[in-house]
Amino acid sequence: MKSRNWIIGLLLAVVLLLGGVASVIIYVDPYFHYHGPQANLYYELNNERSQNDGIIRHFKYDGMIIGTSMAENFKTSEAEELWGGTFIKVPFAGGTFKEQNDNIAKAIKCNPDLKVVIRTLDYAYFMDDADKVRDDLGDYPEYLYDNNPFNDVNYIFNKDIFYKICLPMLDDARHGKAAGITSFDDYANWMDGKEFGPEAALLGRTEYKAPEKVQPFVDEVKEMVKANITQNVTDLAKANPDIDFYYYVTPYSVAWWGSQKELGVMDRWFAVEQYAIELMLECDNIHLYSFNNEFDVTSNLDNYNDECHHGDWINSQILGWLYSGTDQLTKENYKDYLAIECDFYRNFDYEGLL
């Protein structure tokens, strides 16, 4: 009898302990899985793939900025000054077209007030498989994204979340730390400590070689582009004609173009871009832009941290261009844009960068 009572008591203690841990995590909810921020706590935004889903589902907004690391330096305050309303920023570093599109679709489903979506279209991802999701960025917290309440045990009984996040947040509140949340201007911004300029952008390159082989735009590639753009860009826009989608092709530096020329894929990229543009221009509510012909930006390596990533001052400029209509692509002008782009990057003096 004593052993039985001891076991029952032990089980009861374990249940109470686990219930207490779960209650704290559910109350604080640092990943916004169940609700938005508590009014008496301060929340650090520092984990995109764990927090973005909750931000999308539980915050109030009518505009959103989404994209890869190319979007991390945007400031929602600047978007709000231009478009008005309230914006969130939910970047996914390295996120594929599918990952971005799935989260836009979730935002539309969860928030009927959504009116404006600003999104990067990373040049390097046009030829991805339509269903590609990055599997090289660590374990993906699927339990935060699905509707299965049973796998929430990975969240509500997570000792690291309990000890390293929730308890310190409660302790901060007990000691009078002001409630609030990291601003979306600062969230995911990677500018601190980064170096910009030719040395950073060229990554130690000492020469540009002639391509060993030129890669053509074959039917297999065309079908991949069509599947990727249709599934992850145009279908959602066509299904939501009342939402304005401001999409733009990310302006990589001339150093990136030099690398593509060396690899023999430059002309393939031009063909891929043209085909993708033609698919997207079928949607009246996709306001499509490309800043590859802003040569003062792309040929000035002082704007870049590597071949692709530009500083936040370019993000600010891009918001202004999107709002004003600068460099918008239309059925009437996109071929002229492509001709100018091709001529510039084909004939650029890449050796002069070294």
Q: Is the pLDDT of residue 10 over 60?
A: no
pLDDT computed for residue 136 by the predictor = 74
State phi, psi for 144 to the nearest 5 degrees: -85, -15
Q: Is the pLDDT of residue 16 over 90?
A: no
d(CA 206, CA 299): 17
The share of the chain scoring above pLDDT 90, in percent, equals 89
pLDDT computed for residue 285 by the predictor = 98
Amino acid identity at 140: Y
pLDDT computed for residue 129 by the predictor = 96
pLDDT computed for residue 12 by the predictor = 63
Helix spans in 29-145 (H): 48-58, 76-83, 97-110, 142-145
Q: Is the pLDDT of residue 86 over 70?
A: yes
Q: Is the pLDDT of residue 9 over 60?
A: no
Other C-beta atoms lying within 10 Å of the C-beta of residue 288? 21
Tens digits of per-residue pLDDT, 104-153?
999 999 999 999 999 999 999 999 999 998 877 667 788 999 889 889 99
In the DSSP assignment, the letter for residue 136 is S
Q: Is the pLDDT of residue 5 over 90?
A: no
Residues β-bridged to residue 181:
43
What is the overall mean pLDDT for the chain? 94
* 48-58 vs 97-110: helix crossing angle, rounded to 10: 30
Give the model's confidence band at 20: pLDDT under 50 very low, under 70 low, under 90 confident, else very high: confident
Cβ-Cβ contacts under 8 Å for 264 (sequence gap 6 or more): 211, 212, 213, 214, 215
Token readout for 99 is 């990952």
Q: Is the pLDDT of residue 43 over 70?
A: yes
The share of the chain scoring above pLDDT 70, in percent, equals 94
Q: Whole-model pTM?
A: 0.94
Give the model's confidence band at 11: pLDDT under 50 very low, under 70 low, under 90 confident, else very high: low
Cβ-Cβ contacts under 8 Å for 265 (sequence gap 6 or more): 214, 215
Higher pLDDT, 271 or 142: 271
pLDDT computed for residue 220 by the predictor = 95
Tens digits of per-residue pLDDT, 331-346?
999 999 999 999 999 9
State phi, psi for 263 to the nearest 5 degrees: -80, -10
